[in-house]
Amino acid sequence: MLACGHMVEVAASIGAMILAAARAMGADPALLASRAAFDVSRASDPDARIALHTETLLWDEAARLTGDGVFGLHAAERLCPGAFDVIDYAVRTAPTLRAGLERLARYNRLVHDAAVFSLVRDGDHLRVEHSLQGVKQSRHAAEFTLASTLVVGAQINDSPIWPTKVTFQHAAHAPMVEYLRLFGVPPSFSAPTNTLVFSLELLEQPLPKSDPLLSRVIERHAEALLVARPAPAETTAARVRRILCETMGKDDAAVTLTGAANRLRMSERSLQRRLAEEAQTFDVLLDELRHELAARYLADKKLAIAEVAFLLGYSEPSAFHRAFKRWTGKTPTQARERAA
């Protein structure tokens, strides 16, 4: 539940897609729907929404019923045009792959309240980062999201598109062979973000089937739907994350459960309860944010490692070294040298 009482929701078409993929892989769709409390009658309604919790259950139960440890990857391979209504066609009619990614980032709120795509230029490459604002995501959903980007890209490009780098926030859980087949490169796991990196040369090539007139019509329709879609309420976890970003390295007392609760004007118990309703804890949020920021700070060679530790709110550099070794298996110095 959100702090204001609203629930994070996603398009029911996502549930329908998961059900169809599970059926194709031999699972009983009625049993899957029952286990996830998914109302199948809503699957064909393009305007229907379901709780994020229901989507997560569908992903995890589908993987269990099919016995497929990389169910998300294989579900992505089964995607056909129109699976996600307007946003799908907005991406598929874009003049270039880069324009398609930009449309995906802009219109994704049509199908998901919490998911965010960020496009960051890095020299002659574009980094596509995917995250959920303050809520937990099934690892199958994360793998589906990145894999589906490649699958749809290959379909509209009439040839495979290969990233130069792939990272996932979750830990490795399956043999590498299927990842290599789908992505062309071995992903890194337990990373700060879910990320695809592409060369701009690939992304800016004109697409062979681009239809400028149809593209403009669909884009106008997508814009109208986006304006009509209410802005999602901020989750409690997202509010806590924002407070931590604002205070980390500046006010040590605020980078605590007590400090965050005081700023949100609620008791520690209430804050813990609301985070638990979003499948989060304060300690995990803080740890994940520090992991993410550590990677960004270490990329700036002007910052000494001791200064990075201070910016992350550690009282001693040794505490940062231990945390970084736990996150990555390397010391901050080793990570910086490897990046160089």
CATH superfamily of 236-339: Homeodomain-like (1.10.10.60)
Q: Do 335 and 324 contact (CB within 8 A), yes or no?
A: yes
pLDDT tens per residue across span 99-141: 999 999 999 999 998 888 999 988 899 999 998 876 778 999 9
pLDDT tens per residue across span 2-32: 333 346 789 999 999 999 999 999 999 999 9
Q: How many Cα neighbours within 13 Å face the side chain of 292?
A: 19
One-letter-per-residue 3-state SS of the chain:
CCCCCCCCEEEHHHHHHHHHHHHHCCCCHHHHHHHHCCCHHHCCCCCCEEEHHHHHHHHHHHHHHHCCCCHHHHHHHCCCCCCCHHHHHHHHCCCEHHHHHHHHHHHHHHCECCEEEEEEEECCEEEEEEEECCCCCCHHHHHHHHHHHHHHHHHHHCCCCCCCEEECCCCCCCCCHHHHHHHCCCCECCCCCEEEEEEHHHHCCECCCCCHHHHHHHHHHHHHHHHHCCCCCCCHHHHHHHHHHHHCCCCHHHCCHHHHHHHCCCCHHHHHHHHHHCCCCHHHHHHHHHHHHHHHHHCCCCCCHHHHHHHCCCCCHHHHHHHHHHHHCCCHHHHHHHHC
Whole-model pTM: value is 0.75
Check residue 340 and give its pLDDT.
62
**How many CB atoms within 10 Å of residue 302?**
5
Total residue length of the chain: 340
Domain extents in the chain: 70-228, 236-339
Q: What is the arithmetic mean of pLDDT over 262-286?
A: 88
Neighbouring-strand partners of residue 122 = 125
pLDDT tens per residue across span 167-186: 999 999 889 999 999 999 99
Q: Do 167 and 188 contact (CB within 8 A), yes or no?
A: yes
- Choose the weakest-confidence range: 6-20, 153-167, 181-195: 6-20
pLDDT at 311 over 50: yes
Q: What is the arithmetic mean of pLDDT over 36-50?
A: 88
